[in-house]
Amino acid sequence: MSQRARIDTEGPEPGGPSISAGAELDPVHPVKPPAARREHVTPPTGLTSAEVEERIARGEVNDVPVRSSRSTVDIVRGNVFTRFNAIIGVLWVIMFFVAPIQDSLFGFVIIANTGIGIIQELRAKRTLDGLAVIGEAKPTVRRDGRAGGISTSAIVLGDLIELGPGDKVVVDGVVAEADGLEIDESLLTGEADPVVKQPGDPVMSGSFVVAGGGAFEATKVGREAYAAQLAEEASRFTLVHSELRSGISTILKYVTWMMVPTATGLIISQLIVKDNDFKDSVARTVGGIVPMIPEGLVLLTSVAFAIGVVRLGRKQCLVQELPAIEGLARVDVVCLDKTGTLTEGGMDVTELRPLDDADPAYVRRVLGAIGASDPRPNASLAAVIDAHPDDGTLKPVQSLPFSSARKYSGARLYDGEGTTTWLLGAPDVLLAEDDPALAATEQLNQQGLRVLLLARSTAELDSPRAATDAEAVALVVLEQRLRPDASDTLRYFAEQDVAAKVISGDNAVSVGAVAAKLGLPGAEHTVDARRLPTDADALASDLEAGSVFGRVTPQQKRDMVGALQSRGHTVAMTGDGVNDVLALKDADIGVAMGSGSEATRAVAQIVLLNNSFATLPSVVAEGRRVIGNITRVATLFLTKTVYSVLLAVLVVCSQVEYPFLPRHLTLLSTLTIGVPAFFLALAPNKERARPHFVSRVMRYAVPAGVIAAAATFSTYLLARSHYSGPGSLEAETSAATLTLFLVSIWVLAIIARPYTWWRLCLVGAMALGFVIVLIVPWLQDFFALKLVGVQLPWTAVAVATAGAVLLEFSWRWVDRKHPA
């Protein structure tokens, strides 16, 4: 029997209507689900323009605001109305009435800090909002019989919204058309299996299409669609839920607890126990309370994050959740989908290899007809369509869209004599393990080529037997385009001790060959995911041992992410297809490509709008800059808090005047913390992010604060015994200020390591600033600083030197005890 005869002899479907040669068949699009024979139905045309205007006038619009950032009002409120701003504001008002303007400088610093925070966050907001508009997916809505993309907020009640693979259901509705439509509702219901939808079935906003296509009519829009509200809330820009910010909140809580009793004791000591001038006592009391507040720490954290958003925005990276910058810096495993991440989205058919003397011309016609039967082809089928366009000789009477779970698509074609079931998909899924066609497939896969099998089946298209009864007819060889930047990006992750795991639905050998071309370590030991254990612990062990996994189902991707997380790994997942959505949602950080499906962009924390995998190192670097630098400056701020609290305790216990006025500590804070912290917080930093932020900061800040307080109070007591007579308090304060400045500048010098030219210049400039205050007469008067004599100033320097030596010993001991 000839090949043409062998292929064409199957008759009409059992029990189905007879089809005569040349019979008029309904169009390819739309088609019904594979379980039903299609009938010719005129597709709905959607609302008319007049009906749309009428609904807008009635307010039946999907007006739920989807924001990518906090509103301007929220930004101003969040920066102005803080607990510590309130405390400082009250103290500032008091100082206006009891002391010179010099002692109120701390209030002007707070105003400047708050203004900087607002300006920087508004800049970040503009960047985020602009990128959100660029990256916003526009649903396809049919109006006046024409389909076009519109903004989600422009959808009105009754609109007919088209759906395809990867599309997100943006409002609640009822299915009007279904073409093998399968919708995943797991993000809403927790049910893992996709749901096949027929006309009349409800669809919920927040679900997404995994296979097939169709259209639905919007029945609930705006705030009536409850699931839409959940999606909006989940995707809204946030400044919370990060270890860095929660750690700072914890620190501030402890600081508040320490402040209350200490400040109370100081107030009693200075106003009641000591019989001094009332206004001077008030000024010194305020001078003791103000430095306890690490007021700039929250500001600098917000500024560092905001500037990070702006920097990444310039690289077309949309950060949908701000802590994602920090999160990706903590990642130690990154899971990569091959298609669309390591390779570019498009493919090229390089060879058509008929098997068993199949007629090449007829095979090309079959491929063209299968392509024409799918209104929304994936990348593989699009390449087939480009290479083998439909000539119209074969008519599809039933279609089966591609599904990542089953790994094949298909169509039932009529050639004028009979119908035949055709499948197009993964050879190792459609064929038995001993089929000779698999040997040729294996050779092609080892070259990094992607291979599809065209097979004929005797079973119904929607039957589970369709794949098991498949008979190989031809191999379609596709060449994938590697991303030119993928190799460098993988090398970067290897250098940063971030394990890269390629998990793909493609053939394992082919995936391994692609990974090997990109230089991924372990690519030679590719694992077929169908042979992986189902036990979570065993799965985690296999994942830690391997680097490349093929034939991974969407549910397996999700399980893999969970298994790695169970071993304490921080996992990032990248992807662009609908089969990546579940894993993206469960990963610690989800990264989607801008050209990917709407569903992936909706659940990801980071969207690479330029589709460049090479942007990821920039995100990692930005996160490391933020975390490393905030750790540095937090140590500066908390050292000040510790020594301020201890000084207040020592003063209360010793029943002496508090040594400083607010102007003194404003000067010290500006030179040793405020100005240098701003530069250090924004500097480049490639240190790998480490966990336990609070404990790491406190183990440095506490000894530094204790040493600074002990050295300063020692100098103050020595000065009190040395000086006597009028003006002695100013001389005592000046000596204590000198010691505290020298110890604090040494803390800054330690934190600024490793040194670069600009870090040395920064420390030197701050020291020079203090020297200028000491030698310029009007600055001496302004800050009430005047060193008297020779013996005590040099004693102050000697005490500070001893403190610096103790600082070096204590910090090195901490480094040895808690190595990086």
As annotated, the active-site residues are 337
DSSP structural state of residue 180: E
**Start-end of H helices in 278-348:** 278-289, 295-313, 323-330
Query: Residue 689's beta-bridge partner residues?
Result: none
CB–CB of 482/516 below 8 Å? no
Alpha-carbon distance 553 to 263, whole Å? 61
**What are the tokens at 796?**
């102050």
DSSP structural state of residue 98: H
Burial of 730 (0-12, 13-18, 19+ CB in 10 A): middle
CB–CB of 596/575 below 8 Å? yes
Alpha-carbon distance 36 to 313, whole Å? 48
Alpha-carbon distance 486 to 498, whole Å? 15
Burial of 790 (0-12, 13-18, 19+ CB in 10 A): exposed
Instruction: For 382-399, give the DSSP string.
Output: HHHHHHS---SSSEEEEE
Q: What share of the chain is helix, strand, coil (3-state, %, to 5)?
A: 55, 15, 30
CB–CB of 594/356 below 8 Å? no
Phi (first) and psi of residue 413, to 5 degrees: -110, 145
**What are the tokens at 819?**
């190595």
**CB within 8 A of 533, min separation 6: which ones?**
539, 542
**What are the tokens at 391?**
């000539």
**CB within 8 A of 488, min separation 6: which ones?**
614
**CB within 8 A of 338, min separation 6: which ones?**
502, 504, 506, 511, 514, 515
Give just the sign of the alpha carbon dihedral 178, 184, 188, 191.
Answer: positive
CB–CB of 477/449 below 8 Å? yes
CB–CB of 738/798 below 8 Å? no
Buried b (16+ CB within 10 A) or exposed e, 638-670: bbbbbbbbbbbbbbbeeebbbbbbbbbbbbbbb
User: In Å, what is the CA distance from 165 to each residue of 432, 463, 531?
Assistant: 29, 22, 28
For the sheet containing 395-403, what is the strand order?
343-354, 471-482, 450-457, 419-425, 408-414, 395-403
Alpha-carbon distance 722 to 338, whole Å? 76
Query: Residue 178's beta-bridge partner residues?
Result: 214
Alpha-carbon distance 208 to 223, whole Å? 20
Phi (first) and psi of residue 437, to 5 degrees: -65, -25
Tokens 């916003």 appear where? 136
User: In Å, what is the CA distance from 549 to each residue of 209, 448, 592?
Assistant: 25, 14, 20
Three-state DSSP class for residue 688 = coil
**What are the tokens at 553?**
């189902």
